[in-house]
Amino acid sequence: MGPIGFLLIINFLLWVATSIKPAFFIGLFGLVPGYVFASPWTIVTSMFIHSPFPRLLHILGNMFSLYFLGTYLIRLVGTGRFIITYFVGGIIGSLFLVIFAITPFLADIRFIGAQLYLPAIGASGAVAAVCGSLIILRPKMKVFIIPIPIPLPLWVVVIFLSIILSAIVPGVAWQAHLGGLAFGLITGFFFRRRQRRILFDL
């Protein structure tokens, strides 16, 4: 079983557990910016927890994206670089969320004060990092988004869903998306330069 399969299984098992006892698992593993120094592990564990049943869109959207886009990124750069992109991107997404929440002039004006104590969960920051890397490696790549019947450029979908839409819809951690995406773009440039160097050496 590869890293994608492992991540899918862990996320779905924890989603089932969270659906059974949401308060316990979100309280233990969710990232609460105001308590991050007391619970530093949540910077990592929060990316494995998703909204409990019956809210299916959160986990299904992240896991479908992880499966298709993550599998493609592995074929391009290898397993090790995918893991770095995914996990470090998710961690940076969590750090962006914390920094934006605890910095008064960066905090979301809709949730000033409360944002410090709202738990953040989901793999969106990590998935955004995968998307960012693919945007650089395959700038003409197109994807289908249900229910839109035509393929759209990946960069358009990512900017719209990860940044614009998530900044408009209440309760979506656009800060984590932004942090993950930024890291993914950086790794994409690094991977592309390395590929060109290998081709040049050949």
- pLDDT score for 106: 65
Contact 12, 59 (CB under 8 A): yes
Contacting residues for 188 by C-beta, under 8 A, at least 6 apart: 132, 133, 134, 135, 136, 137
Per-residue pLDDT tens over the stretch 25-37 = 999 999 999 899 9
Confidence of residue 159 (pLDDT cuts 50, 70, 90): confident
- pLDDT score for 70: 97
CA distance 59 to 27: 18
CA 144 from centre of chain? 19
Is residue 143 helix, strand or coil? strand
Confidence of residue 118 (pLDDT cuts 50, 70, 90): confident
Per-residue pLDDT tens over the stretch 57-84 = 899 999 999 999 999 999 999 999 999 9
* Domain spans of the chain, in order of start: 3-201
Per-residue pLDDT tens over the stretch 160-183 = 776 666 666 667 888 899 999 999
CB atoms within 10 A of CB 76: 16
Torsion angle (degrees, nearest 10) of CA 60, 64, 66, 70: 180
DSSP characters for 1-39?
--HHHHHHHHHHHHHHHHHHSHHHHHHHHSB-GGGTTT-
With a pLDDT cut of 70, the percent of the chain lying above it is 87
CATH number of the 3-201 domain:
1.20.1540.10
Per-residue pLDDT tens over the stretch 121-148 = 999 999 999 999 999 999 999 988 777 7
Angle, CA 40 vertex, CA 179 and CA 61 arms, to 5°: 45
Secondary structure of 105-138 as H, E, C letters: CCCCCCCCCHHHHCCECCCHHHHHHHHHHHHHHC
